[in-house]
């Protein structure tokens, strides 16, 4: 089983739609979880961290289910500018080093 798995999509939605992405991770000892956003031919950028209690940032809501080893990202009222690839990212240990990236889910929002 791959460490971080995502549905690659693409998800094609109209403006104003609500869309949800899911991600599963294999290491039950994983401690930190994130969603990064990557625009076409650009570098990844942190979108939001994912906390155990769930967290919201404007139109974006992230949820974590440790028992199922599952992370989700919900985007409400989609905008054209939300079109990008969303990377699910996990870090396994407190000592740090690197992040484990999923392959990403592509979202295309159309008018």
Partner 1 sequence: NAGVTQTPKFRVLKTGQSMTLLCAQDMNHEYMYWYRQDPGMGLRLIHYSVGEGTTAKGEVPDGYNVSRLKKQNFLLGLESAAPSQTSVYFCASSSTGSSFYEQYFGPGTRLTVT
Please give the residue ranges that form the binding site for partner 1 (CB under 8 A): 4, 32, 34, 41-46, 49, 87, 91, 96-99, 101-104
What number of other Cβ atoms are within 10 A of residue 11's Cβ? 19
Q: How many residues does the chain have?
A: 111
Closest approach, Cβ 87 to partner 1, in A, equals: 7
What is the smallest separation between the CB atom of 91 and partner 1, expressed in angstroms? 6
CA distance 9 to 102: 13
- In the complex, minimum distance from the CB of residue 14 to partner 1, in angstroms, rounded to a whole number: 27
State residue 81 phi and psi, 5-degree precision: -70, -10
Give 58 or 96: the residue with its C-beta nearer to partner 1.
96
């Amino acid at each position: 089983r791959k460490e971080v798995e995502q549905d690659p999509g693409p998800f094609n939605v109209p403006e104003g739609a609500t869309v949800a992405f899911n991600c599963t991770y294999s290491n039950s000892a994983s401690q930190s979880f994130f969603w990064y956003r990557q625009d076409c031919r650009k570098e990844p950028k942190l979108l939001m961290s994912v906390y155990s209690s769930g967290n919201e940032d404007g139109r974006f809501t992230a949820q974590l289910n440790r028992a199922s080893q599952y992370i989700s990202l919900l985007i409400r009222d989609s905008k054209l500018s939300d079109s990008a690839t969303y990377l699910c990212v996990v870090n396994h240990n407190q000592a740090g080093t690197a992040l484990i990236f999923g392959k990403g889910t592509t979202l295309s929002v159309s008018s």
